[in-house]
Structure 1
Amino acid sequence: MHEHEKRDYLLKGVLPVLCASILWAFGYFARKIILFEITPLTLTFITAFVVSMSLMLWLRPHPLHLWRVFHAHIWNHIALAFTGVIFGTTLMFIALDNLDLGLATVLEKLQPLFTLVLAALFLKERLPVRVLPYCLAALISSVFIFTESTQTLQMALSPQNLIGVGAVIGAAFSWGMATIIGRKLMLSGVRSREVTLIRFTLAWLFLAPILLLQGDLVTHFTLSPFVWIIAVGSAIITTAGGYVLFYSGIKVVDAPTSGFLELLTPIVSLALGLIFLDETIRYTQIFFIGLMLFSIYKISTTKTKRT
């Protein structure tokens, strides 16, 4: 690789993915500090609406072309909106509302494990035997990370912890399913940016009538300016901005590099929780977090083949 190629690889590939991973961590942090005043479902709606509008302004797609892309794979796009945003994002916000920031973002990294299993089931991709020990290590590590954070069985079985863990596992599973659906769409020739735009647009369109029936769209106009600034700002900067940076970066970097850089999200989240939210971490947790993230890295960079 020549000098200018190395520079392009770093500036156009590594740096955008690195920044996206850090932005996502700050996005989780920002959402956690406002969830005391806003419901997870309403926050998902605001996020989806703002991201959709931001991507519309950035991509400037032709409406007729976008309709054709949607109509050609209508059910896959709808399924992606539900798994990727309505279920996945809302469940992650519920997890952030009930668990420590660091714990929630670390456990969410189980997503590649679900993606691997779901790819074997729905895309008929062969599950490599060599990756099974890493799957087992990731699962065992996640259990120890959680139990070490609660210290006692009574705390582990508290409603708040059970809701939080159930929500983060549900989010990881939903996003794993969304990855499979998104992969199917891209194998059909749909561009990743269009997949993302349609996903977020459909999500807020489906959520709007639900929130109207609940009265949340009206009552939440009384939210404080601080909550609105954080909700809208984090959607523009960390979610929409993160996607723009990530998709531009993965055109240049290889899968192992991207997988490694994405691990910065839980690491930065852990640091933010320790510094700003008075969260704690035990030495045994550090070991299991390291083991889990290493295992997830190996899983996420595993190449699978069609059976």
Structure 2
Amino acid sequence: MTSGRNLSTAALTGLAPAVWGSTYLVTTELLPPDRPLLATTMRALPGGLFLVALGRRLPAGIWWWRALALGVLNIGAFNVLLFVAAYRLPGGIAAVIMSAQPVFVVALAALFLGERVRGRHALACGLGAGGVGLLVFKGSVSPDGVGVLAALGGALCMASGITLTKRWGRPGGVGLLTFTGWQLTAGGLVLLPFWLSLEDLPDGLTGSNAVGFTYLITLGAVLSYMVWFRGIERLPATAVSFLALGSPVVATLLGYLFKDQTLSVLQLLGIAVIFLAVTLGQPQSPRRKPALTP
């Protein structure tokens, strides 16, 4: 059984992937069309700079390169690779490949964090990948090699970011706001040259665009990443990795509710399988030994 404290922490941490699952709907409905790099850069950089200014503290010593590495892995490189995979892989296959992320975390956590690999973790990895496949994969496709490598790279970036965030923790005296700001700023600065070189500026911004960008900066970045990094501090890395599988579930449900997309029996089965995988991936409270009778 999962302890009450772990369950509440997992539930709060799971809100972050749920919010990230909503960004597809926000991007397609509220933001300027065909500018995903603009969306990802604006999602990270303004909020990161605001948090750094609010905290009034910059990294020191070894934390300059650690903050850069975490920002690249958790935000910058991850979003660029996700963008490449989404454009080159049709039919949801990118999401299926990205669902390998918990497998990477299980291996990395065992190597660098000393977390034990248990049978339920292996089962949860298989169920998670299978559930995402039922949820998003449609028809036969001819996978693009670059797209497949980008999706695998994105999964590895996320897995490495989770593992290193857990291993390094936060420097003493640095609050969660400031720590999140360092990473968002680093990730946004990595994204900035890709956006400026690959996309044109929109002709103008509408009221809907302003609402969309506000949502991405506040809920989609500042609040969600704070919750995410808090969860990494308090839960095993493997447990956090499985929570990320909630993102395609939310994206699918929102598509059904707001974009008239279908929701088949197989997709409902996929949601149930993903929920089971997430549950299996959470830490279990130790079993109490029965009291010895005199």
TM-score by length of 2: 0.71
- Decide whether aligned partners of structure 1 residues 259 and 241 sit closer, same or farther in structure 2, where only a CA change above 3 A counts: same
User: Does 2:276 correspond to 1:280?
Assistant: no
**Alignment match, 2:59:** 67
For residues 123 and 250 of structure 1, what CA distance do their matches in structure 2 show?
12
1:262-273 equivalence runs, <5 A:
265-273=247-255
Q: Which amino acid aligns with 1:61?
A: G
Change (3 A) 1:67 1:264: closer
Rate the CA distance shift 1:289–1:107 in 2: closer, same or farther, 3 A: farther
Residue pairs, 1:1-307, within 5 angstroms: 17=13, 20=16, 22-33=18-29, 37-56=33-52, 60-63=54-57, 66-68=58-60, 71-93=61-83, 108=98, 110-146=100-136, 149-151=137-139, 153=140, 156-157=141-142, 168-186=151-169, 189=172, 192-212=176-196, 214=197, 216=199, 219-225=200-206, 226-244=208-226, 265-301=247-283
**1: CA distance between counterparts of 2:185 and 2:77?**
15
User: How many percent identity over aligned positions?
Assistant: 22
- Distance change >3 Å, CA 93–CA 282, structure 1 → 2: same
* Preserved CA contact (<8 Å) 1:108 1:169: yes
Q: Is the 8 A contact 1:30 1:230 kept in 2?
A: yes
Residue identity in the other structure for 1:267: V
- Pairwise CA distance, 1:16: 5.4
The amino acid that maps onto 2:273 is: L
Question: Is the CA contact 2:133–2:270 (under 8 Å) kept in the aligned structure 1?
Answer: no
Cα pair distance change 1:128/1:187, threshold 3 Å:
farther
185-194 or 129-138: bigger deviation:
185-194
Q: Which SS does the other structure have where 1:220 is aligned?
A: coil
CA distance in structure 2 between the aligned counterparts of 1:106 and 1:270, rounded to whole angstroms: 14
1:179 CA drift (Å): 0.5
CA distance in 1, matches of 2:92, 2:221: 18
RMSD value over aligned CA atoms?
A: 4.3
**Bigger shift: 101-110 or 47-56?**
101-110
Q: Normalized against structure 1, the TM-score is what?
A: 0.68
Q: Which amino acid aligns with 2:138?
A: T
Task: Label 1:301 to 1:258 Cα distance change in 2 as closer, same or farther (>3 A).
Answer: same
- Offset at 1:122? 3.5
Cα pair 1:110 1:296 within 8 Å, conserved = no
The CA deviation at 1:253 is 9.5
Q: Which runs of 5+ in 1 are unaligned?
A: 1-5
Q: State the Cα distance separating 1:163 from its structure 2 match.
A: 7.4
Indicate how the Cα distance of structure 1 residues 81 and 135 shifts in structure 2: closer, same or farther if over 3 A, else same: same
CA contact (8 A) 1:105 1:265 kept: no
Q: Which residue of 1 aligns with 2:290?
A: none
Separation (CA, whole Å) in 1 of partners of 2:59 and 2:132: 42
Amino acid at match of 1:91: L
Deviation of 1:76 (Å) = 2.6
Number of residue equivalences = 278
